[in-house]
Amino acid sequence: MAPPTIAPLYRFGAGQFWCKPNAGDLVANPTPMRLATLQEVNMEFSAEMKELYGENQYPETVAIGKRKVAGKAKIGRWNTTALNQMMFSGTQGTGMDVVKVNEAAAIPATPFQVTVSGAATFVEDLGVTYQNGTPFIRVASGPTVGQYSVNETTGVYTFAAADTLVNVLITYTDVVSATGTTLEIDNQIMGYGPVFQAVFRAAFRGQECNIVLQACIAGKLSLQSKVDDFTVPEIDFSAFQDQNGKVGFIYSTQ
Residue 183 CB neighbour total at 10 angstroms: 16
Q: By the 8 A CB rule, do 150 and 157 touch?
A: yes
What is the predicted pLDDT for the residue at 26?
52
pLDDT grade for 137, boundaries at 50, 70 and 90: very high
Q: By the 8 A CB rule, do 51 and 62 touch?
A: yes
pLDDT at position 8 over 90: no
CA 46 – CA 73 distance, rounded (Å): 18
Domain with CATH 2.30.110 in the chain: 16-91+189-252
What is the predicted pLDDT for the residue at 58?
97
What is the predicted pLDDT for the residue at 44?
96
Q: What is the mean pLDDT of residues 201-217?
A: 93
What is the predicted pLDDT for the residue at 9?
75
Query: How distant, in Å, are the alpha carbons of 22, 119, 213, 215 from that of 243?
Result: 11, 53, 13, 9
Q: What is the mean pLDDT of residues 62-89?
A: 93
Q: What is the mean pLDDT of residues 14-40?
A: 83
Q: What is the CATH number of domain 16-91+189-252?
A: 2.30.110
Q: What is the mean pLDDT of residues 65-88?
A: 93
Q: By the 8 A CB rule, do 209 and 202 touch?
A: yes
Q: What angle do CA 72, 75, 79 make, to 5 degrees?
A: 115
